[in-house]
């Protein structure tokens, strides 16, 4: 097999990644900030308690640049102005559809306007809104949502619970496994939802019962947002795949494990997965993530990717080293304002399949991806127990009790539990950037 390289199509480093860049906004220069000048992620927001509309914003330190307000200042021209106009509506789809040159041009213009000594400092200052005064909407209209299953460690752990002698199905190492999910129940961080109900069947019961879910779980995932789409009937070459990816955010794909166990054969997830899913408000662009890309490898003893899933680019810089953490805040913790209990930390770099491979495989049959479509990475678990991305793994299918910081115990989630997920990237020679957080709470069933 001949593996070709098209390095020009990879996200490349540029002046916006320079660790020496500082902003005139002091909060952006804090080492603890998720949103230094090297990040500049996008969201849809509005000010709380004001009669205004949702529109695009970019995070910098503890503030948000109101892109609609900045557009009205009339200080930009060309594709930067076109980009600002596209960001001045209640969803980012139009901006995402413009493609990589536009995304990069706007990000560079904002970077320059935010630097110490920038001529546009006073103009941008007039367009700032405190993050503490913001409320968020979904960053884009998610027309379609596909959930993948890219962590071999998660797939193996879950497989062992049901098939101890053969945890991985034969296709796993050959094909990026995925299913089409439900986009209408995806909501932004802060989502609260009622415990789902459905059919449950105990192994020793002759028939199922209708009842609230007893084994409610979270899944720590990465959301991958499509920017520029492809035409129906055309496929996206793996070397071009990342040019179609606008950016990534944190994603909690809730799962009702007992509903899932009864319903998933023969067609896969249904009611166990469509009652709620939660994304963080901020999309970190693929350009901002460029410094944290790294080599992707496949064990020599495993089947190597088919030609349409293989490239030098993907081998050299196909993986993203994004740290992913999960915390649990119980009702008792909230009452005394105690710190949430850390459950696990892993990294997206452990993914068996890359973002480029997901996009290439999704479109190889001619499927047309659209701006705003979202791909879920699947639960991101690492090679050790401490890197488990779900309670199903941490509790060994409910057999092992998890003790929280305050002494409370869990196997699965209880009513009132608030799951908090955080993500960040760190690398020597580059500033730390973060994803903010995604938080959502379980309410009692009706």
**Each residue's pLDDT tens digit, 65-76:** 999 999 999 999
Average confidence (pLDDT) over 31-52: 95
**Each residue's pLDDT tens digit, 165-188:** 889 999 999 999 999 999 999 999
pLDDT band at 162 (very low <50, low <70, confident <90, very high): confident
Q: Per the domain annotation, does 2 fall within a domain?
A: no
Q: Are residues 63 and 133 in the same domain?
A: yes
Q: Per the domain annotation, does 51 fall within a domain?
A: yes
pLDDT of residue 3: 43
**Each residue's pLDDT tens digit, 315-357:** 999 999 999 999 999 999 999 999 999 999 999 999 999 999 9
Provide CB contacts within 8 A for 398, sequence distance 6+: 215, 392, 411, 412
Q: Are residues 437 and 318 in the same domain?
A: yes
Average confidence (pLDDT) over 303-324: 97
What the block records as the tokens of 250 is 């944190």
Check: CB of residue 1 under 8 Å from CB of residue 308.
Answer: no
Cα–Cα distance measured from residue 131 to residue 255, given in angstroms and rounded to the nearest whole number: 30
Q: Is 181 exposed, middle or buried (0-12, 13-18, 19+ CB in 10 A)?
A: buried
Average confidence (pLDDT) over 197-209: 95
pLDDT of residue 330: 98
Average confidence (pLDDT) over 13-35: 97
- Dihedral of the CA atoms 49, 52, 53, 57 (nearest 10)? -80
What the block records as the tokens of 407 is 């002494």
Q: Is the pLDDT confidence value at 420 over 70?
A: yes
Q: Are residues 224 and 360 in the same domain?
A: yes
Q: Which residues of 398-412 are buried (b: 16+ CB within 10 A; e: fewer)?
A: beeebebeeebebbb
pLDDT > 70 in the chain, percent: 98
Cα–Cα distance measured from residue 64 to residue 55, given in angstroms and rounded to the nearest whole number: 11
Q: Are residues 257 and 382 in the same domain?
A: yes
What total of structural domains would you count in the chain? 2
- Say which CATH number the domain at 129 has: 2.30.30.230
Q: Per the domain annotation, does 314 fall within a domain?
A: yes
Q: Is the pLDDT confidence value at 427 over 70?
A: yes
Cα–Cα distance measured from residue 82 to residue 71, given in angstroms and rounded to the nearest whole number: 9
- Say which CATH number the domain at 426 has: 3.90.850.10
**Each residue's pLDDT tens digit, 367-417:** 999 999 999 999 999 999 999 999 999 999 999 999 999 999 999 999 999
Q: Are residues 107 and 172 in the same domain?
A: no
Q: Per the domain annotation, does 1 fall within a domain?
A: no
Q: Are residues 47 and 105 in the same domain?
A: yes
Check: CB of residue 220 under 8 Å from CB of residue 279.
Answer: no
Q: Per the domain annotation, does 210 fall within a domain?
A: yes
Q: Is the pLDDT confidence value at 256 over 70?
A: yes
Cα–Cα distance measured from residue 322 to residue 435, given in angstroms and rounded to the nearest whole number: 9
Check: CB of residue 249 under 8 Å from CB of residue 279.
Answer: yes
Q: Per the domain annotation, does 361 fall within a domain?
A: yes
Pick 5 or 440 by higher pLDDT: 440
Catalytic, 154? Answer yes
**pTM score of the predicted model:** 0.96
Half-sphere exposure of 282 (CA within 13 A, CB side): 27
Cα–Cα distance measured from residue 110 to residue 103, given in angstroms and rounded to the nearest whole number: 11
Q: Are residues 124 and 59 in the same domain?
A: yes
Give the count of beta carbons closer than 10 Å to the beta carbon of residue 363: 24
pLDDT band at 51 (very low <50, low <70, confident <90, very high): confident
Range of lowest pLDDT (167-171, 196-200, 431-435): 167-171
Give one DSSP letter per residue of 224-250, joined into a string. Answer: EEE-S---TT----TTTGGGGEEEEEE
Q: Per the domain annotation, does 273 fall within a domain?
A: yes
Domain boundary among 137, 165, 188: 137
Q: Are residues 180 and 263 in the same domain?
A: yes
Average confidence (pLDDT) over 154-173: 91
Q: Is the pLDDT confidence value at 9 over 50?
A: no
Q: Are residues 66 and 176 in the same domain?
A: no
Domain boundary among 111, 137, 163: 137
pLDDT of residue 373: 98
pLDDT > 90 in the chain, percent: 93
Q: Are residues 269 and 394 in the same domain?
A: yes
Q: Tell me how far apart the terminal alpha carbons of the chain are, to the nearest angstrom.
A: 57
Cα–Cα distance measured from residue 308 to residue 357, given in angstroms and rounded to the nearest whole number: 8
Range of lowest pLDDT (78-92, 254-268, 272-286, 368-382): 254-268
Domain that holds residue 202: 145-443
pLDDT of residue 279: 98
Q: Are residues 75 and 210 in the same domain?
A: no
Check: CB of residue 221 under 8 Å from CB of residue 212.
Answer: no
Q: How many helices (H) and strands (E) does the chain have?
A: 11, 26
Question: Which among 154, 244, 350, 361 is annotated as catalytic?
Answer: 154
Q: Are residues 101 and 157 in the same domain?
A: no
Q: Per the domain annotation, does 67 fall within a domain?
A: yes
User: Across the chain, what does the average pLDDT equal?
Assistant: 96
Domain boundary among 108, 137, 166: 137
């Amino acid at each position: 097999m001949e593996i070709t390289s098209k390095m020009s199509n990879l996200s490349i480093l540029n002046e916006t990644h320079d660790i020496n860049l500082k902003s005139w906004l002091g909060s952006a220069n804090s080492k603890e900030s998720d949103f230094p000048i090297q990040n500049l992620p996008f969201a849809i927001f509005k000010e709380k308690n004001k009669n205004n509309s949702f529109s695009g914003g970019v995070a910098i330190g503890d503030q948000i640049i109101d892109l609609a307000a900045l557009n009205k200042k009339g200080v930009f021209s060309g594709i930067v102005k076109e980009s600002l106009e596209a960001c001045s509506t209640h969803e980012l789809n139009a901006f995402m559809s413009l493609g990589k040159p536009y995304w990069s041009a706007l990000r560079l213009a904002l970077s320059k306007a935010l630097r110490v000594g920038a001529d546009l400092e006073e103009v941008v200052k007039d367009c700032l809104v405190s993050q503490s005064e913001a409320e968020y909407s979904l960053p884009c209209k998610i027309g379609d949502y596909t959930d993948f299953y890219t962590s071999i460690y998660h797939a193996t752990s879950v497989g062992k619970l049901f098939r101890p002698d053969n945890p991985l199905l034969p296709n796993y190492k050959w094909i990026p496994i995925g299913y089409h999910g439900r986009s209408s129940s995806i909501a932004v961080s802060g989502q609260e939802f009622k415990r789902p109900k459905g059919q449950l069947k105990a192994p020793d019961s002759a028939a199922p019962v209708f009842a609230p879910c007893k084994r409610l779980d979270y899944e720590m995932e990465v959301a991958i947002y499509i920017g520029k789409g492809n035409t129906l009937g055309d496929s996206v070459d793996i070397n071009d795949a990342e040019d179609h990816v606008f950016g990534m955010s944190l994603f909690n794909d809730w799962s009702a494990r007992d509903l899932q166990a009864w319903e998933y054969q023969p067609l896969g997830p249904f009611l166990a997965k469509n009652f709620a899913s939660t994304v963080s408000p901020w999309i970190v662009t693929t350009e901002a993530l460029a410094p944290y890309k790294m080599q992707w490898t496949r064990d020599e003893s495993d089947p190597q990717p088919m030609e349409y899933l293989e490239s030098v680019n993907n081998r050299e810089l196909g993986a993203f080293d994004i740290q992913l953490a999960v915390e649990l805040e119980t009702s008792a913790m909230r009452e005394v304002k105690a710190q949430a209990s850390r459950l696990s930390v892993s990294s997206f770099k452990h993914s068996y399949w890359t973002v480029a491979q997901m996009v290439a495989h999704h479109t190889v049959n001619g499927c047309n991806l659209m701006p705003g479509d979202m791909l879920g990475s699947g639960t991101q678990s690492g090679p050790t127990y401490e890197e488990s991305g779900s309670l199903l793994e941490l509790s060994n299918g409910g057999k092992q009790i998890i003790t929280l910081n305050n002494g409370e115990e869990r196997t699965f989630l209880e009513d009132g539990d608030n799951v908090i997920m955080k993500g960040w990237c760190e690398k020597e020679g580059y500033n730390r950037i973060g994803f903010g957080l995604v938080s959502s709470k379980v309410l009692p069933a009706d």
